[in-house]
Amino acid sequence: MASFVDLIRGLVDDGDELNAAARFRLGKLIAKGGMGVVYEAEQIGAYGFSKKVALKLIEPSTAGQAEVVKAFIGEARLVARLVHPNIAQVYNLGRTSNHIFIVMEYVHSLNCQKLLARLAGQGARLPRDFAVYIVHRVLRGLAYAHGLRGDDGKPLGIVHRDAHLRNILVSFQGDVKLTDFGIARARGFLPKDSPDVIVGRPDFMSPEQITGQPLDLRSDVFTAGVVLATLLLNQNPFAGENLDDTRRRITTAPLPNFAALDSRIDPELQDILQRALEREPAQRYASAEAMMNDVERYLFINRVGPNTESLRRFMQDFQGPVNDDTRILSRAALDIPPLDETEHMVLPATNSLPLVGG
C-alpha cells in the first residue's frame, strides 16, 4: 500500500505545481472602488466542495495599466501575510488567460458607511459604545499590521492610508474587519507613489497625508480618530464642500468641541478624540496600540462594555434580502494584456479628487 508521502508526491511531481481547475459562482457586486471590484462568490471544488468567498478583480477600465496591476498583486501578497481576526483574509491570487483575481474571506456584513446610512434611515444613531468598540477592533488590526516584520526581521513599515468607513466591515456575527490594503505603504510589496500623487479618501486623511508630506503609522491613528468622530456624530466634521475646504479643515481649522456636538461624548472620550486628531504627529498617539489601550480602558474599566455577542445582536436588525442572481465564472471566462504591454498609470494631482481609494 502506498504511503501518505507517496500519495502526496503523486499529486505534485518533479516540482511542478498541482494543476487543478477552479470555478466560481458569482453573486452580487459587493463593492466597487477606483482600482477593483468585489463580488460575492462561491468557490466550487471537487466532490461537491464549495466555499463562500469574496472575489476581487481589477476594475475593467484600469486593467490595462501596469501600475494598477502591480499594486493589485502587491496587495494580495501583502494581505496574505496579515493573519488577524480584525483584518479580512486573502486566500489566493489567481490568474486566468485574461484576468487577475484575489480570492478573499467573505464577510457577511455592512461597511460602516452603509451601517450609518441604515441607522439614519430609521432616524437613529449608532450607540456610543458600539462606535467606540468598532474603532477599538480597527485599532487592534492596525496595531498588528504596523508591527509586522518581514522575513529579514525588519519592520515592513505598513501604513494602511485608507482606513475609512467603507473599508471597515461590521459582520452580522459581531466581528469587525479592516479591508482593502490596495493603497497601503509597505516595504517591498507595493509600488512607490509619485511625489505629486496623493491617494486615498481626502476627508479621512491625516494632515501630513493630505499635504503630501512623509508619513508613518501615526497617519493611520489620525484616520482612526476621524472614523471615531464620524461614527459618533453621524457626519464627518472634516468633510468640506470641496477638496480645498477639506484640506483646510484637516490642517488649520480649529478642531470642533465634540462634547458640544454630542452630549454622549464625555470628557474622557473627548480627550481620546483630541489626542488622536492632533495635527502634529509628535503630539498624537504614538501608535495604534497606544490609542487602543486608552479606548480599551474607556470601554471596560469599572463597567461591562460591548462585545462580539452584543454587537451581533445589534446587527441582526440590519440583515437584508439575499440576491440570488448568480452565474458560473470559469478560468476560460475570466482580459488584461500581458504585464509588459500595459501602459503606465497616471493619477490625479492634489487639486482633484483621487481615483484610488475614494
Yes or no: say if 270 and 228 are a contact pair by the CB < 8 Å rule.
Answer: no
The span from the CA of 250 to the CA of 238, in Å, is 6
Residue entry with cell 479580512: 88
Residue entry with cell 487543478: 20
Yes or no: say if 235 and 138 are a contact pair by the CB < 8 Å rule.
Answer: no
Yes or no: say if 88 and 169 are a contact pair by the CB < 8 Å rule.
Answer: yes
Question: Cell triple for residue 126?
Answer: 449608532
The catalytic residue among 162, 175, 203, 294 is 162
Report CA-CA distances (Å) from 27 to 53, 235, 283.
10, 31, 46
Is residue 162 part of the annotated active site? The answer reads yes
SS3 per-residue string spanning 187-229: CCCCCCCCCCCCCCCHHHCCHHHHCCCCCCCHHHHHHHHHHHH
In this structure, which amino acid lies at residue 352? S
φ, ψ (nearest 5 deg) of residue 162: -150, 40
Q: Is 244 helix (H, G, I), strand (E, B) or coil?
A: helix
Yes or no: say if 344 and 168 are a contact pair by the CB < 8 Å rule.
Answer: no
The span from the CA of 168 to the CA of 139, in Å, is 11
The span from the CA of 136 to the CA of 295, in Å, is 6
Q: Is 74 helix (H, G, I), strand (E, B) or coil?
A: helix
- Taking 3-state DSSP, the helix, strand and coil percentages for the chain, each rounded to the nearest 5, stand at 40, 15, 45
φ, ψ (nearest 5 deg) of residue 78: -70, -50
Q: Which residues are catalytic?
A: 162
